[in-house]
Every structure is written in C-alpha cells, then in structure tokens.
Amino acid sequence: MIRKAKVSDIKAAHKLINEFSKKQEMIPRSLNELYENVRDLFVFEEDGRIGGVCAVHIMWEDLAEIRSLAVDKGFQGRGAGKSLVARCLKEAKSLGVKKAFALTYRPEFFLKMGFRHIDKASLPQKIWGDCLRCPKFPECDEFAVITDL
C-alpha cells in the first residue's frame, strides 16, 4: 500500500534512505530534515513494515523533484518503486506542477516511466542546494531526467 508518510514512519524512512546513502547512491537525509519535510514523503507499507519511501519536493512554481526513492531489498522487483514514483507524480500534478525531474544513478528506471534525459545544466540553479552535501560534489555523476505532468 502506498500512503502519505506519518511522523511515526520517519525513523524507518531515514534508515532506508541512509542505507543507500552509505553506498553513495543518494544524498543522506537527517532525521530533522525528514521530520521537517514529512508532507513531501510517501511510503510503501506491507504487513505493517515500511518497505519503501519516496518524496516529491516542490522546487518552483512549475517544477518538482522526485527524491529520496529507496526500496528495501526484500521489496525490490515488485513494483514498489514504480508505485511510489507514480504517487509522487500524481501529487505534484494535483498541486498544479507542470514538470518533475529526478537526479539518479538509475536513469533506466525513470525512462521506463516516461521520463527523458536532460542536461543537468538546464535545471534551475536552485536545485543544487542539496548537492553541496554530497560527497561527490562538484564531480556529480548522476543523470538528470524529467517528465511532463
């Protein structure tokens, strides 16, 4: 089941996100940051266990970022990630956002969902605030993808 995250989900979401962060597959998120942005988060829950998390963060009047997509190994390959991203896109569209992007090491996942490659430099400078915390900054090797909503 995909649902909006609750405050009680934050510690499980934090653990999932930072497991991927330790492998340098995404930017780490602090507990504080996740609590402050709980309204951005959706979780995949099965049998009372949080198996995945994804956020939709509004960046500008017409642009949202799909971020912090993390699915526990035991839930991968079952559509949890796709369902989380789809729910985040639906949320962005309901808010009137026209486009959503993601910075990712797995562009093929997003391309299968209708995203297309774009040059990172074409994104507004505002999106690079999180990048300052990345151990790979400024030598970013992520791919940028975008979709129209």
Alpha carbon distance 12, 142 (integer Å): 25
Over residues 61-78, the pLDDT tens digits come to 899 999 999 999 999 999
Question: Is the pLDDT score of 131 beyond 60?
Answer: no
Return the pLDDT at 136. 56
- All domains in the chain, ordered by first residue: 2-148 (3.40.630.30)
The reported pLDDT for the residue numbered 142 is 81
